[in-house]
Structure 1
Amino acid sequence: MRYKIASVTFLACFLVYLCDGVRIPPNPCEHIFRYYKDKNGRIYGEATIPYDNATSMTFGVNASLAGRFNKADLKLKLVTTVKQLNDFAPFVVYNIFFPFQDTIPKITGITYNRRSYCSGPPEPLIAGTPGVTSVWHQLYFEFTRVFNRQDTNPERTDDGLASKEPGVPDFVPWREPTTSSTTTTTESPFQFHNQHLVPPRNDTYYTPEPPIRQPTPQTPLQQTPVSPTPQTGPEKVPIDIDFIQSLFTPSPPTTSAKKCGMTMNQPTGNSIVPLIYNGEFAEIGDFPWLVAFMEKRNSTFEYTCSGNLITEKHVITAARCIMFYGVQIVKNEDIMLVMGTNNLLNWRSSKAVHRKVVNSVAHPSFQDYPDSAHGDIAVLTMDRTVRFTNALSPICLWSSSTNIDEYTKETGVVAGYGQDEDARRNGQLHAVRLKRANMPIISQRECYNSPVGFDSVVSDMTFCTKSGETATGPCIGDSGAGFFVKLGGVYYLRGIASIISSENGTCDLSNQYIVFCDVAKFVNWIKNEIET
């Protein structure tokens, strides 16, 4: 049997395309996805993906609709038949049916068997409009391969606008799908309501093998890339580019002073220690990438945030440590970075390393959504490089899958100088000595459904952790603290502490939930900033 797909004319989607008065949104997935019309004029989508010869197939679609909808479900249907799959068809075809015909969704992501085949931005949030609704649907199908070779030639017709009937499988699955889910989320302008329910995109930049039959070349969408705001500063000091690259693909542990994610004091045992509040003290070398962010107030420097060393000249912290509603409220010259110590009482000692900041860049999205954890990340450039030692070395940037769902229940470490029980009792806003603790990552849905109202501060670019029965967690002054996950004996930076609940100026851990900016989703932006 030969698997055939008749050539059809497709709906070319440019920035705005009207079909019978209906707007067809831009299509970021033109190499695998097309919009079509059936004989009744109903618009639907079709995805054609290279078949990997699997007998278990999971297909997922992310989409975005302009407007607020309480119920907006996608429907997915596998078009390729079992007979065609048995014969190792080169492609697997899915139809995507939309909830409305007057508002056609924009496809923002397509995954197949845990691989991301394309992704794109959602519909823009525009002031004065109802908002944006994000939807996600996943279809699971499994079959038993049998080697029959009966020929099938599905008939397809087309006219000027790809008029054709959606394919209907000529089989009944041998069992009901066991993993199928639908999520609908709504988002208002300048707020991130429910955005996080859309599963985080897999930014591993997998590029599938080109299909045997290439579609007709199309004019690419003219999208203007977002460029960071130019920053002025002193003459740039040459940076070790080889070392920067090593942060993204760490080598096996060696004796090099440049290795990342390695601690001088490897903890023993498997016990989970409490978080920073009710936590344990960390020794020098436990987390050699930890940085204390000191802000000049009057004639002295005071601790306000935490940071994380990623190169010999760059530190990552939370954007809210320097920004307030799009305005940089902490000047570069008023920042002192202290590292290589675990005790802020002795930060002026010879053992601690001090650096000034000559440049700071917050992610542009945080300026648009300052009340959320979305994009709550900033890169600080020091006035001169530091020398790596056992007490001072960088943390590795994330290089594994960016899908946070794959790490649900994974335990990570948080460390910082934020308010602890002693500081709270004494009316202080931060601890004197560095503290550390472990916390598990929870699902995006659990965080969104938490009773503390996090639905407006989380997104697909954030994740949450939760403490146990004892009130533990990052606290006041821990903004910018890193969430580290240990993989293969090496620590990687996965998150930056962002939203920490407080009451009357002190830490409030009764809600147990902490929101982190997902650093893994911003690795390319970070890389661009530190190589500039």
Structure 2
Amino acid sequence: LQVDRNGEIYGTIGVYTLDENIVRLNVELSLGNRVNNYNGQIELMYPKEQVVNDIFQQKPIKYKLFFPRWENIPPKVTRISVNGQVVCSGPPIANSKNPYFNGNGHLPAVSQRKNQPPRPASTSPPSSSDICGSPVVPNPLVVNGVSVPRGAFPWLAAMFSVTSTGLEYKCSGSLISKKHVVTAAHCVEQGRKRIRADTLVFVLGKLNIKRWSLSEGEKIIEAEDIKVHPDYKPLTSDADIAVAILSEEVQFTRYIRPICLWSESDDLDVVIGQKGKVVGWGRDESNNTMTAEPKQTTIPIVSQEQCLWSGEAFKYVTSARTFCAGDRNGTGPCNGDSGSGFIMKRNGRWVLRGVVSISTYDQNTQTCDLSNYVVFTDTSKFKKWLFSFIS
């Protein structure tokens, strides 16, 4: 037991994370008598930078367990479990009738292969500065999607939020330069409050985001600033777009390359009926809320009229700066795919045309309803705003 600067007594717990997308730490306490108001809590022991470093070094994540305030008889830990698996247990306090205390922590999984230390990311410069939209690897949310070979979509970025209990997957994004990632505005807001940039980290060049040891050409980098489009209003798709400014420039590698921005006409009628791809780590057909590896799906753009006629809800969330896409057959981007790009092939290069914004909600499955269209922010309507960051 230790005492912090505020005089609070706490114990420490070290957890080796598992190959699961969320780790739940549960602690049960036996109490000898009544506690006064405060039931205790669990929080990370170290700052964000050290937590991220520990994950990549495959070290245990350290937590502080603050005990409830007690009288005469101190609490006793009777069980610690991780994702329902008991890692240690002990007898309760004799004659104790008090309930236990649970604390929950959430963080992405860590590969526990101890004999494979992380390798540094490659710093090899690209052979040409004009490499956007051109993956080196050929490509032979996505519900019922097709698996993605590593490097097939090298602009794909995974965004994590550093919380009080660890790292939590938030959304996807698309790298558009050495310092900028495009995502959805709602991904960087919580309620009506903006998430602080220094609590966000981006993983680039990585295929399996549940395995945290870095391989060659992979990078984890913090956000320096977040720019949300000034027209964005929560709960709509109009201007649901944001740019994360990274804390340092990334070096382009075989697995990290930018996507091209749309430079053609922004007239939606020109692309109605044409198909694009969405790639992301979101919910899959097995109901996993986050997949270890991204999946891709191909869906067509539909007219604004067709989208509006398909359901009353769409008139409240769409605008002249959005478009709808989908086959309405149970496939498409879902929870966790927010911020992913809708990409289309133009002159042999992949170009960013949209950003996953909103889908309708299925009350029965309590997740996205892919029998309806998905609404995308139309990035072609924000060309000047996007180019202002990278010009």
TM-score relative to the length of structure 2: 0.64
Task: Map 1:144-155 onto structure 2 (within 5 A).
Answer: none
Q: Give distance in 1, aligned partners of 2:198 and 2:133.
A: 29
Secondary structure of 2:159 counterpart: strand
1:333 to 191, 198, 201: 198
Q: Deviations over 1:447-471 (max 9, x none)?
A: 1111251111000000010225x31
Q: Give distance in 2, aligned partners of 1:326 and 1:297.
A: 17
Provide structure 2 residue ranges, at least 5 long, that are not aligned to the other structure: 1-125
1:467 to 327, 330, 335: 327
Closer/same/farther in 2, CA of residues 347 and 495 from structure 1, 3 Å limit? farther
Q: Deviations over 1:472-505 (max 9, x none)?
A: 0101011100000101111100000000233468
Partner residue in 2 for 1:250: none
Does 2:335 align with 1:476? yes
Partner residue in 1 for 2:122: none
Partner residue in 1 for 2:299: 439
Q: Give distance in 2, aligned partners of 1:431 and 1:380.
A: 23
1:296 to 162, 172, 177: 162
Higher relative contact order (CA 8 A, sep 6+): 2
Secondary structure of 1:529 counterpart: helix
Q: Give distance in 2, aligned partners of 1:324 and 1:459.
A: 23
Cα shift at 1:510: 4.1
Kept after mapping to 2: 8 A contact 1:473/1:509: no
Q: Look up the equivalent residue of 1:488 and give its one-letter code.
A: N
Higher alpha-carbon Rg: 1
Does 2:234 align with 1:374? no
Kept after mapping to 2: 8 A contact 1:324/1:370: no
Q: Percent identity?
A: 35
- Let me know the Cα RMSD of the aligned residues: 1.9
Q: Deviations over 1:229-259 (max 9, x none)?
A: xxxxxxxxxxxxxxxxxxxxxxxxx951541
Q: Look up the equivalent residue of 2:131 and give its one-letter code.
A: K
Closer/same/farther in 2, CA of residues 284 and 510 from structure 1, 3 Å limit? closer
Partner residue in 1 for 2:266: 402
Provide structure 1 residue ranges, at least 5 long, that are not aligned to the other structure: 1-253, 269-274
Partner residue in 2 for 1:388: 252
1:356 to 222, 240, 245: 222
Q: Look up the equivalent residue of 1:361 and give its one-letter code.
A: K
TM-score relative to the length of structure 1: 0.48
Cα shift at 1:276: 1.3
Cα shift at 1:349: 2.0
Task: Map 1:312-323 onto structure 2 (within 5 A).
Answer: 312-323=178-189
Task: Map 1:415-434 onto structure 2 (within 5 A).
Answer: 415-422=279-286, 424=287, 428-434=288-294
Secondary structure of 1:431 counterpart: coil
Q: Give distance in 1, aligned partners of 2:264 and 2:127.
A: 24
Partner residue in 2 for 1:103: none
Secondary structure of 1:394 counterpart: coil
Q: Look up the equivalent residue of 1:277 and give its one-letter code.
A: V
Kept after mapping to 2: 8 A contact 1:476/1:506: no
Q: Deviations over 1:81-113 (max 9, x none)?
A: xxxxxxxxxxxxxxxxxxxxxxxxxxxxxxxxx
Q: Give distance in 2, aligned partners of 1:506 and 1:339.
A: 30
